[in-house]
Amino acid sequence: MAELTYRDAVARGIAQEMERDPSVVLIGEDVAKAGGVFKTTAGLLERFGPERVRDTPISEEAITGMIMGAAMNGLRPIGELMFSDFLATCWDIVANQIAKTRYMTDGQVSLPLVIRTANGGGARFGGQHSQSLENWAMAVPGLKVVAPSTPADVVGLLAGAIRDPDPVVFFEHKALFAGKGEVPDGEIVDALGTARVLREAPDITIVALAAMVPKALEAAAELAEHGIGAEVIDLRSLVPLDTATLFASVSKTSRLATVEENPRLAGWGAEIASIVTEEMFWDLDGPIVRVTTPHIPLPAADELEDLAIPSVERIVDTVRRTMA
Amino acid sequence: MAELTYRDAVARGIAQEMERDPSVVLIGEDVAKAGGVFKTTAGLLERFGPERVRDTPISEEAITGMIMGAAMNGLRPIGELMFSDFLATCWDIVANQIAKTRYMTDGQVSLPLVIRTANGGGARFGGQHSQSLENWAMAVPGLKVVAPSTPADVVGLLAGAIRDPDPVVFFEHKALFAGKGEVPDGEIVDALGTARVLREAPDITIVALAAMVPKALEAAAELAEHGIGAEVIDLRSLVPLDTATLFASVSKTSRLATVEENPRLAGWGAEIASIVTEEMFWDLDGPIVRVTTPHIPLPAADELEDLAIPSVERIVDTVRRTMA
Amino acid sequence: MQQPSPETRLRLYADMVRARYFEKRAYDLFLQGLLKGTTHLGLGQEAVAAGFAAAMRSDDMTFCTYRGHNHTLLRGAPMDALMGELLGRENGICGGKGGSMHLTDVAKGAMGSYAIVGAHLPVAAGAAWAAQVRDTGQVSVCFFGDGTTNIGAFHEAVNMAAVWSLPVVFVCENNLYMEYTPIDEVTPVEHPAADRAPAYGLDGIIVDGNDVDAVYEVAQRVLSRARDGAGPSLVEAKTYRHGGHSRADPGKYRPDEEVAEWMARDPIVLYRTRLEEFGIQPDELDRIETAATAEVDEATEVSKSAPAPGPDTLMTNVWADGGSAWRN
Amino acid sequence: MQQPSPETRLRLYADMVRARYFEKRAYDLFLQGLLKGTTHLGLGQEAVAAGFAAAMRSDDMTFCTYRGHNHTLLRGAPMDALMGELLGRENGICGGKGGSMHLTDVAKGAMGSYAIVGAHLPVAAGAAWAAQVRDTGQVSVCFFGDGTTNIGAFHEAVNMAAVWSLPVVFVCENNLYMEYTPIDEVTPVEHPAADRAPAYGLDGIIVDGNDVDAVYEVAQRVLSRARDGAGPSLVEAKTYRHGGHSRADPGKYRPDEEVAEWMARDPIVLYRTRLEEFGIQPDELDRIETAATAEVDEATEVSKSAPAPGPDTLMTNVWADGGSAWRN
Ligand SMILES: Cc1ncc(C[n+]2csc(CCOP(=O)(O)OP(=O)(O)O)c2C)c(N)n1
Ligand SMILES: Cc1ncc(C[n+]2csc(CCOP(=O)(O)OP(=O)(O)O)c2C)c(N)n1
Ligand SMILES: [Mg+2]
Ligand SMILES: [Mg+2]
Closest chain B residue by Cα to residue C152: B59
Amino acid A229: pLDDT: 98
Nearest CA to ligand 2 atom 18: D145
Whether A94 contacts B87, CB under 8 Å: no
A neighbours by CB contacts (3+ pairs under 8 Å): B, C, D
Residue D172 reports pLDDT greater than 90: yes
The answer to whether residue B274 neighbours chain D at the CB level (below 8 Å) is no
Query: Could you give the CA distance from residue D52 to residue B244 in angstroms, rounded to a whole number?
Result: 53
Angle of helix D152-163 relative to helix C152-163, nearest 10 degrees, comes to: 130
In this complex, which of B91, B138, B273 lies closest to A277 when CB atoms are compared?
B273
Query: How many Cβ atoms sit within 10 Å of the Cβ of residue C5?
Result: 9
How high is the mean pLDDT of chain C? 97
Q: Is B66 on the interface with D (CB under 8 A)?
A: yes
How many angstroms does the Cα of residue C198 sit away from the middle of ligand 3?
21
pLDDT of C31 higher than 80: yes
pLDDT tens digits for range B211-226 = 999 999 999 999 999 9
| CA–centroid distance, residue B83 to ligand 3 (Å) | 18
Measured CA to CA, the distance from residue B166 to residue D141 in angstroms comes to 25
Domains (ranges, CATH) in chain D? Answer: 6-300 (3.40.50.970)
Q: Cβ-count burial of C158 within 10 angstroms (0-12 exposed, 13-18 middle, 19+ buried)?
A: buried
Q: Which uninterrupted H or E stretch holds B223? A: helix B212-225
Asked if pLDDT for residue D2 goes beyond 70, the answer is: no
The whole-number pLDDT of residue D157 equals 99
Q: How many CA atoms lie within 13 A of D167 on its CB side?
A: 27
- Positions of B marked catalytic: 60, 129
Residue of B277, B289, B293, B321 to mutate, testing the A interface (most A Cβ within 10 Å of its Cβ): B277
Parts of chain A with a pLDDT under 70: none
C134 pLDDT above the threshold of 80: yes
Q: From the candidates A17, A29, A60, A261, which is the catalytic residue? A: A60
CA distance B31 to D205: 35
Q: Do C328 and A165 touch (CB under 8 A)?
A: no
Ligand 2 pocket: which of A82, A128, A130 to mutate (most atoms within 8 A of CB) = A82
pLDDT 10s digits, A113-144: 999 999 999 999 999 999 999 999 999 999 99
**Catalytic residue chosen out of the listed positions A29, A80, A129, A231:** A129
| Consecutive H or E run containing D6 | helix D6-31
Q: Are the C-beta atoms of residues B257 and B241 closer than 8 Å to each other? A: no
Whole-angstrom Cα distance, residue C63 to residue C43?
Answer: 19
Gap between the Cα atoms of A6 and A170, Å rounded: 14
Using a CB-CB cut-off of 8 Å, the residues of chain A touching B136 are 136, 139
Name chain A contacts of D38, Cβ cutoff 8 Å.
123-125, 129
Q: Report the pLDDT value the prediction gives residue C1, as an integer from 0 to 100.
A: 59
The whole-angstrom distance between B97's CA and the closest CA on chain D is 8
Atom nearest to D119 CA in ligand 2: 1
Instruction: Write the CB contacts of C312 (distance below 8 Å, at least 6 apart in sequence).
Output: none
Q: Tell which residue, D65, B114, D77, has the closest CA to residue A128.
A: D65
Cross-chain Cβ contact D152/C156 below 8 Å: yes
Residue A91 contacts D, CB cutoff 8 Å: no
Residues C295-314 pLDDT 10s = 999 999 999 999 999 999 99
Q: What is the mean pLDDT of residues B70-82?
A: 98
Sign of CA dihedral C153, C158, C162, C165: positive
- Nearest C-alpha of chain A: how many angstroms from B41? 26
CB contact under 8 A, C37 and B123: yes
Three-state DSSP class for B28? strand
pLDDT at D285 over 70: yes
Is there a contact between D201 and C188 if contact means CB atoms under 8 Å apart?
A: yes
Instruction: Work out the angle between the directed axes of helices A6-20 and A151-163 (0-180°, nearest 10).
Output: 30
- Give D55-59 contacts, CB < 8 A, sequence gap 24+: D55/D216, D55/D219, D55/D220, D55/D223, D56/D109, D56/D139, D56/D141, D56/D219, D56/D223, D57/D137, D57/D138, D57/D139, D57/D223, D58/D108, D58/D109, D59/D109, D59/D136, D59/D137, D59/D138
**Pocket residues for ligand 2 (CB within 6 Å)?**
A 29, 58, 60, 82, 86, 89; D 67, 115-117, 144-148, 151, 173, 175, 177-179, 245
Report the DSSP pairing between strands D168-174 and D177-178. unpaired
The Cα B259–Cα B216 span in angstroms is 7
Angle at CA of residue D90, ends D87 and D92, nearest 5°: 60
Tell me, in angstroms, the distance from the centre of ligand 2 to residue D143's CA: 12
Q: Could you please report the per-residue DSSP string of B58-74?
A: S-HHHHHHHHHHHHHTT
Over residues D105-110, mean pLDDT: 98
> Can you give the pLDDT at residue C287?
98
- Chain B environment of D159 (Cβ under 8 Å): 57, 59, 62
Cβ proximity of B61 and B93 under 8 Å: yes
Contact assessment for residue A148 and residue A188, using Cβ atoms and an 8 Å cutoff: no
Q: Which of C117, C150, C159 to mutate to test the interface with D (most CBs of D within 10 A)?
A: C159
**How far, in Å, from the CA of D46 to the mean position of ligand 4?**
14
- Out of D104, D130, D157, the one facing B73 most closely (by C-beta) is D130
User: What average pLDDT does chain B have?
Assistant: 98
In a mutagenesis test of the C interface, which of D165, D189, D202, D203 is the best target, namely the one with the most C β-carbons within 10 Å? D189
Q: How many A from CA of C255 to the centre of ligand 3?
A: 16
CA A304 to chain centroid, in Å, comes to 24
Nearest to B301 among C38, C101, C309 (CB): C309
Give the nearest chain C residue to B129 (CA atoms). Answer: C115
Residue D1 is predicted with a pLDDT of 59
pLDDT of residue B85: 98
**Residues 295 to 314 of A: which have CB under 8 A from any B CB?**
295-297, 299
Q: Which atom of ligand 2 is nearest to the CA of A89?
A: 1
Rounded Cα distance between B312 and C236, Å, is 50
| Cβ–Cβ below 8 Å for A69 and C127 | yes
CA distances to D40, D77, D171, D183, D194 from D146, rounded to whole Å, are 15, 26, 10, 7, 10
- Is the Cβ pair A69, C114 closer than 8 Å? no
- Residue D199 per-residue DSSP state: G
Q: What average pLDDT does the segment C54-67 reach?
A: 98
Nearest CA to ligand 1 atom 9: C179
CA distance B166 to A146: 34
* Residue A255 backbone zone (phi > 0: left; psi -120 to 50: alpha; other: beta): beta
Q: How confident is the model at residue B1 (pLDDT cuts 50, 70, 90)?
A: confident
Chain D nearest C-alpha distance from A121 (Å) = 10
Assess contact for A35 and A64: CB atoms under 8 A: no
Q: Do D105 and B72 touch (CB under 8 A)?
A: no
Contact at 8 Å (CB) between D123 and B96?
A: no
Q: Which atom of ligand 2 is nearest to the CA of D42?
A: 21
Report all structural domains of chain B as residue ranges with CATH numbers, in order of start: 2-183 (3.40.50.970), 196-323 (3.40.50.920)
CA of D116 from ligand 2 middle (Å) equals 7
State the complex-level ipTM: 0.98
Cis, peptide link before residue B240, omega less than 30° from 0: yes
Quick check: bond before A240 cis, omega within 30? yes
- The sheet that has B196-199: what strands, in order across it? B196-199, B230-234, B204-208, B256-263, B289-293
DSSP collapsed to 3 states, A245-302: HHHHHHHHHCCEEEEEEEECCCCHHHHHHHHHHHHCHHHCCCCCEEEEECCCCCCCCH
- A133 contacts chain D (CB < 8 A): no
Residues A80/A27, Cβ–Cβ less than 8 Å: yes
How far off is chain C from A174, nearest CA to CA, in Å? 27
Asked about A226 being catalytic, the answer comes back as no
Give CA separation, B63 vs A89, A145, D16, in Å. 15, 31, 36
CB A55 within 8 Å of CB C111: no
Counting Cβ atoms within 10 Å, is residue C307 exposed (0-12), middle (13-18) or buried (19+)? exposed
**N-term to C-term CA, chain A:** 43
Q: How many Cβ atoms are within 10 Å of C287's Cβ, its own excluded?
A: 12
Contacts of A96 in chain C (CB under 8 A): 116, 119
- Rg (alpha carbons) of chain D, rounded to whole number: 19
Residues of chain A contacting C151 with CB distance shorter than 8 Å: none
For ligand 1, atom 8, the nearest C-alpha belongs to: C117
Do A274 and B274 lie within an 8 Å CB cutoff? yes
Using the mean position of ligand 3's atoms as its centre, give its distance from the Cα of residue C173 in Å.
7
> A170 CA to chain C: closest CA distance, Å?
16
Q: Which ligand is nearest to the CA of C245?
A: 1
* Dihedral sign, Cα of residue B235, residue B238, residue B244, residue B250: positive
- Provide the residue type at A185 as one letter: D
CB atoms within 10 A of CB B282: 8
Distance from Cα D178 to the centre of ligand 4, integer Å: 4
